[in-house]
């Protein structure tokens, strides 16, 4: 079967959440492909460091804004990627109401912007829409097993509502909306203190701190390297016609958290030992994507196995920690923007 991708030279593309971990890699790739990129971010969990190298790029503009507020951009847009939302459980639970509003109100605002511009829209959804899944591996037609009143609900249910908004706008013929369900992704530029498993284990090992394993460590996750994810996002945005269904993007290699910790320990010289801490409420027990749909519709599959991805990621954390040790202590928000004025473009 032949898969068609729309010809995409020189588009103007808005990336909401573009100063975050995944978003900044997406901005890099889109600029390399010759597009103009407008990055919108409120720096809640992202950092100016992630996009600092792009600031003088002639095709890059940075706008500091919260997508919960209506956004107007004074030039026509061809595509909008919505990656704006904290993704780490401690971070999205820190202000759960804002997390929910980011997914519901923020996605509505960006869908309206897409409608006004007749721009294609890609929503970053998540494997969390499957909750603590009873189906394994997870296929896109599985409706999930989500606790709608627990501490993860602000994220899981917010993302589910955002998916519903996208498919309503698509069915109504108002927006060419596409939905990707992202499974655990890792790589350089994850914030060292964001609390997710890959960043925690690497940082703890590099600092000779105890490696924290929540619960028994027998729970599983499937880890995708960020370059593979970015490739999948761009393919789904540009595949023609719009498949009109959500698409899992993730690496089907499944590892227990204990196996991941052993792998990290085997790759970093450290005196760290493992300690167990309580399992967070509603922590999913198993997670692994069925990627048959991504293979069939996009010709996509991950290229980078976990050991190789970790080997690429560890040095970036080592240098981030060295930089952090040199820099004077700053409060979180000014650390995010490093005192740099944003919002002016060029
Ligand atoms: P991240 O926290 O590094 O990036 C999120 C970015 O969005 C940050 O720059 C943050 O400042 C910005 N942001 C948050 N709320 C905002 C708001 N209201 N207005 C404007 N900007 C806002 O997380 P990430 O890992 O890069 O995740 C990116 C997207 O992918 C998120 O939508 C997340 O839900 C989704 N996702 C990621 C993973 C993963 O494993 N990385 C898995 C599933 C889904
Ligand atoms: N986890 C852990 N130690 C940590 C951080 C996370 O054992 O320091 C566990 C967590 O309980 C979960 C898995 O690792 O079972 C993945 O957690 P993460 O926060 O990275 O992502 P998510 O739970 O959203 O998949």
Q: Per-domain residue ranges for the chain?
A: 12-185+226-251+284-303+328-337
CB 67 within 8 A of CB 102: yes
What confidence score (pLDDT) does residue 284 get?
98
Buried b (16+ CB within 10 A) or exposed e, 206-227: beeeebbbeeebebbbbbbbbb
Index of the ligand 2 atom closest to the CA of residue 152: 24
* 212-242 pLDDT tens trace: 999 999 999 999 999 999 999 999 999 999 9
Index of the ligand 2 atom closest to the CA of residue 195: 5
Own/partner long-range contacts of 289-292 (Cβ < 8 Å, ≥24 apart): 289/127, 289/137, 289/138, 289/181, 289/183, 289/222, 289/248, 289/249, 289/250, 289/251, 289/252, 290/137, 290/138, 290/139, 290/140, 290/248, 290/252, 291/248, 291/249, 291/250, 291/252, 292/139
The CB of 87 under 6 Å from ligand 1? The reply is yes
What confidence score (pLDDT) does residue 230 get?
99
Index of the ligand 2 atom closest to the CA of residue 184: 25
What confidence score (pLDDT) does residue 9 get?
67
Query: If you take atom 21 of ligand 2, which residue's CA is the nearest one?
Result: 196
Task: Give Cβ neighbours of residue 240 (< 8 Å, ≥ 6 apart).
Answer: 4, 5, 6
Residue 81 annotated among the catalytic residues of the structure: no
Residue 334 confidence (pLDDT) above 50: no
CA of 160 to the centre of ligand 1 (A): 15
* Owner of token pair 């401690």: 90
Mean confidence (pLDDT) of the chain: 94
The CB of 184 under 6 Å from ligand 2? The reply is yes
| CB atoms closer than 10 angstroms to residue 115 | 17
Both tokens of 141, joined, read: 């037609």
Both tokens of 107, joined, read: 């996605």
| CB atoms closer than 10 angstroms to residue 108 | 18
* 249-282 pLDDT tens trace: 999 999 999 999 999 999 999 999 999 999 999 9
What confidence score (pLDDT) does residue 340 get?
43
Q: Tell how far CA 37 is from the center of its chain.
A: 18
What confidence score (pLDDT) does residue 203 get?
98
Q: What is the chain's percent helix, strand, coil content, to nearest 5?
A: 40, 20, 40
Mean of pLDDT values over 140-164: 98
Query: If you take atom 6 of ligand 2, which residue's CA is the nearest one?
Result: 197
Query: If you take atom 32 of ligand 1, which residue's CA is the nearest one?
Result: 83
Query: If you take atom 34 of ligand 1, which residue's CA is the nearest one?
Result: 87
What confidence score (pLDDT) does residue 339 get?
43
The CB of 301 under 6 Å from ligand 2? The reply is no
Question: Using 50, 70 and 90 to split pLDDT, how confident is the model at 342?
Answer: very low
Index of the ligand 1 atom closest to the CA of residue 24: 26
Task: Give Cβ neighbours of residue 202 (< 8 Å, ≥ 6 apart).
Answer: 264, 268, 310, 313, 314, 317
What confidence score (pLDDT) does residue 326 get?
87
Buried b (16+ CB within 10 A) or exposed e, 19-58: bbbbbbbbbbebbeeebbbbbbbbbbbbbbbbbeebeeee
- Active-site position among 81, 155, 186, 225: 155
Question: Using 50, 70 and 90 to split pLDDT, how confident is the model at 323?
Answer: confident
Rounded CA-CA distance 161/159 in Å is 5
Question: Using 50, 70 and 90 to split pLDDT, how confident is the model at 8?
Answer: low
Q: Which ligand is nearest to the CA of 257?
A: 2
- Select the more confidently predicted residue: 117 or 331: 117
3-class state of residue 157 by DSSP? helix
Percent pLDDT > 90 in the chain is 90
The CB of 135 under 6 Å from ligand 2? The reply is no
* 10-68 pLDDT tens trace: 999 999 999 999 999 999 999 999 999 999 999 999 999 999 999 999 999 999 999 99
Rounded CA-CA distance 226/308 in Å is 12
* 91-116 pLDDT tens trace: 999 999 999 999 999 999 999 999 99
CA of 289 to the centre of ligand 1 (A): 20
Both tokens of 335, joined, read: 């650390």
The CB of 213 under 6 Å from ligand 2? The reply is yes
Residue 297 confidence (pLDDT) above 90: yes
301 class by beta-carbon count within 10 Å (0-12 exposed, 13-18 middle, 19+ buried): middle
Residue 2 φ/ψ, nearest 5 degrees: -90, 135
Both tokens of 200, joined, read: 């925690």
CA of 96 to the centre of ligand 1 (A): 14
Q: What CATH number does domain 12-185+226-251+284-303+328-337 carry, 3.40.50.720, 3.40.50.150, 2.60.40.10, 3.30.70.360?
A: 3.40.50.720
CA of 255 to the centre of ligand 2 (A): 12
CA of 278 to the centre of ligand 1 (A): 25
| CB atoms closer than 10 angstroms to residue 82 | 30
What confidence score (pLDDT) does residue 225 get?
98
Pocket test for ligand 1, best of 84, 97, 284 (most atoms within 8 A of CB): 84
Mean of pLDDT values over 66-72: 96
Mean of pLDDT values over 145-155: 98
The CB of 221 under 6 Å from ligand 2? The reply is yes
CA of 78 to the centre of ligand 2 (A): 36
Residue 333 confidence (pLDDT) above 80: no
3-class state of residue 276 by DSSP? strand
* Cross-strand bridge partners of residue 240: 4
10 class by beta-carbon count within 10 Å (0-12 exposed, 13-18 middle, 19+ buried): exposed
Rounded CA-CA distance 315/157 in Å is 35
pTM higher than 0.85, yes or no? yes
């Amino acid at each position: 079967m032949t898969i068609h991708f729309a010809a995409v030279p020189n588009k103007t593309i808005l990336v909401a959440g573009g100063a975050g971990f995944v978003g900044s890699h997406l901005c890099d790739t889109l600029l390399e492909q010759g597009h103009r990129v407008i990055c919108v971010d409120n720096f809640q969990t992202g950092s100016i460091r992630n996009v600092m190298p792009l600031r003088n790029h002639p095709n890059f503009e940075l706008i500091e804004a919260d997508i919960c507020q209506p956004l107007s951009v004074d030039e026509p847009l061809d595509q909008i990627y919505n990656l704006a939302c904290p993704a780490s459980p401690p971070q999205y639970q820190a202000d759960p109401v804002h997390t929910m509003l980011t997914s519901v109100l923020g996605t509505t605002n960006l869908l309206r912007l897409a409608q006004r511009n007749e721009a294609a829209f890609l929503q970053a959804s998540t494997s969390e829409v499957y909750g603590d899944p009873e189906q394994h591996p997870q296929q896109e037609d599985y409706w999930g097993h989500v606790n709608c009143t627990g501490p993860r609900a602000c994220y899981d249910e917010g993302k589910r509502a955002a998916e519903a908004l996208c498919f309503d706008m698509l069915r109504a013929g108002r927006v060419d909306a596409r939905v990707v369900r992202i499974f655990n992704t890792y790589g350089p530029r994850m914030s060292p203190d964001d609390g997710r498993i890959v960043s925690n284990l690497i940082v703890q090992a590099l600092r000779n701190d105890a490696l924290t394993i929540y619960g028994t460590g027998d729970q599983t996750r499937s880890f995708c390297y960020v370059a593979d994810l970015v490739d999948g996002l761009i393919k789904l945005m540009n595949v023609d016609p719009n498949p009109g269904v959500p698409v899992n993007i993730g690496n089907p290699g499944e590892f227990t958290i204990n196996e991941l910790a052993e792998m990290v320990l085997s790759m970093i010289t450290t005196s760290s030992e493992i300690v167990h801490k309580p399992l967070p409420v509603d922590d999913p027990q198993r997670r692994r994507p069925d990627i048959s749909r991504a293979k069939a519709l996009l010709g996509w599959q991950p290229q980078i196995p976990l050991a190789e991805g970790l080997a690429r990621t560890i040095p970036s954390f080592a240098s981030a920690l060295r930089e952090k040790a040199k820099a004077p202590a700053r409060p979180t928000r000014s650390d995010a923007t490093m005192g740099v004025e944003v919002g002016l473009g060029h």
